[in-house]
Amino acid sequence: MAGKKVLIIYAHQEPKSMNGSLKNTAVDILSKQGCSVTVSDLYAMQFKATTTRNDITGNLCNPQHFNYGVETREAFRHGSLCKDVVEEQKKVQEADLVIFQFPLYWFSMPAIMKGWLDRVLIQGFAHDFPQCYEAGLLKGKLALLSFTTGGTEEMFSKEGDSGDVKYLLWPIQHGMMHFCGFKILSPQINFAPEYVTESRRKEMLTSWAQRLESIWNEKPITCTPPWYFQ
């Protein structure tokens, strides 16, 4: 879809990894559609994951008792957030679709990506109670998780040792992204790419490419408990 803007938040240390290949595939296919694609390569950027006082460049509301949520909300309102956070927020504001590309770590995303969410999607910018979920400040935008696992698809089934993979998505898709107003597209999950054949890895990339060809026609999931837990 010519004119659409896509932001890829990418968290992997190795460009030749499956995650790197999935990211490159997305850039290639979406660019050929006429989309404007921006990649935030968090490891290459050495993006700081920790939330500290240094995220505010101006005076603190209460320097005697630091409250990160309060201070960043006020800093956003007064234009005194640090440069790297402001740059990422601008990318999010411009994006129609945000793709999160990462390997699953401990049933969640890597710390550097969680830190991106902590620092970028702050109150006042992405949400501001009661402006959350359907009324979140990023409503109208799409979000999609594309990730790899170490375990097999069988392990991440309801009968498997790790349980249904959808259970893991509730805090990420619903508690973080949908909370901020994103409409959520179905995740792209590549199970255990390190333990399959090269032919199967190529199939994973082909499947992703084929999906991206018609990604703008997809309907978001119904981001409610039944989708995750029934």
Question: What is the pTM assigned to this prediction?
Answer: 0.96
SS3 84: helix
For residues 40 and 7, give the distance between their C-alpha atoms in angstroms, rounded to a whole number.
Answer: 7
pLDDT at 145 over 90: yes
Report the run of H or E that residue 100 belongs to, with start and end.
strand 97-103
pLDDT at 150 over 90: yes
**What are the domain boundaries of the chain?**
5-229
For residues 97 and 202, give the distance between their C-alpha atoms in angstroms, rounded to a whole number.
Answer: 25
182-226 per-position pLDDT tens digit:
999 999 999 999 999 999 999 999 999 999 999 999 999 999 999
Q: How many helices (H) and strands (E) does the chain have?
A: 8, 6
Domain 5-229 adopts which CATH fold?
Answer: Rossmann fold (3.40.50)
As a whole number, mean pLDDT of residues 122-138 equals 96
As a whole number, mean pLDDT of residues 33-49 equals 98
* 2 band by pLDDT with thresholds 50, 70 and 90: confident
What local confidence, expressed as pLDDT, does residue 189 receive? Answer: 98
As a whole number, mean pLDDT of residues 3-22 equals 97
Say if residues 24 and 32 touch (Cβ distance below 8 Å).
no
Q: CA triplet 23, 29, 30: central angle to 5 degrees?
A: 85
Amino acid at 185: L
pLDDT at 230 over 90: no
96-121 per-position pLDDT tens digit:
999 999 999 999 999 999 999 999 99
